[in-house]
């Protein structure tokens, strides 16, 4: 391996390592946000449990309603605690990865649709331009054919005039040579 090849490999690693660092910092930021959201959700679950107990003590809720609301608050609290754990963060990151993949596929589909729209519009514009060019060519050819026909008709008229003139001359010649009509 030459020094030049080693140099290229070091540059490639250096450029890639900054991207890996950025991805790592994004993952840490997301983990902190998920843990913060987990804390808020766990607090919401605990607060809803307190509301259920107080509502039952003041007679606003029946025992069945208090049990149902307490069960829901335990579920919300458990979800918040799970989100604060490493497994919860990993699950949130997996869900985020799946959502990002779906969003990327939807974006690709949208871009393909836009590209197809542009292609169809370009094809439509091209078709209009081709039609206009064909109509211009047809008009030019028709004009040329009409002028050629007019020239032909004029030539025929001149020949008829020359032909009738020739008949008159021949008739005159006959009269003058022979001395009469026949």
Distance of CA 87 to the CA centre of its chain: 38
Distances (CA, A) of 50 to 24, 46, 68, 83: 39, 6, 13, 21
Instruction: State yes or no: pLDDT of 99 exceeds 80.
Output: yes
> 182: part of which helix (H) or strand (E)?
none
Q: Work out the average pLDDT over 20-48.
A: 82
Q: Work out the average pLDDT over 160-182.
A: 69
The pLDDT of residue 67: 92
User: 130, exposed or middle or buried, with CB in 10 Å at 0-12, 13-18, 19+?
Assistant: exposed
Global confidence as pTM: 0.43
- Residue 93 near residue 30 (C-beta atoms within 8 A): yes
Instruction: State yes or no: pLDDT of 24 exceeds 90.
Output: no
The pLDDT of residue 2: 58
Mean pLDDT of all residues in the chain?
81
Residue 119 structure tokens = 């292609």
How far apart (Å, rounded) are the C-alpha atoms in residues 108 and 22?
A: 24
How far apart (Å, rounded) are the C-alpha atoms in residues 55 and 179?
A: 146
Residue 179 DSSP symbol: S
């Amino acid at each position: 391996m030459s020094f030049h090849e080693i140099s290229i490999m070091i540059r490639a690693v250096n450029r890639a390592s900054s991207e890996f660092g950025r991805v790592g910092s994004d993952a840490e930021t997301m983990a902190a946000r998920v843990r913060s959201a987990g804390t808020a959700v766990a607090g919401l679950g605990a607060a809803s449990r307190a509301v259920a107990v107080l509502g039952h003590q003041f007679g606003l809720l029946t025992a069945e309603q208090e049990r149902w609301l307490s069960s829901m608050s335990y579920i919300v609290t458990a979800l918040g605690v799970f989100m604060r754990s490493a497994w919860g963060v990993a699950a949130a990151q997996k869900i985020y990865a799946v959502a990002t993949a779906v969003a990327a596929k939807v974006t690709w589909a949208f871009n393909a649709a836009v590209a197809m729209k542009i292609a169809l519009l370009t094809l439509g514009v091209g078709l209009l331009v081709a039609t206009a060019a064909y109509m211009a060519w047809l008009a030019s050819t028709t004009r040329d054919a009409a002028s050629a026909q007019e020239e032909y008709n004029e030539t025929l008229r001149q020949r008829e005039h020359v032909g009738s003139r020739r008949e008159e001359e021949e008739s005159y010649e006959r009269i003058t040579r022979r001395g009469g009509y026949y």
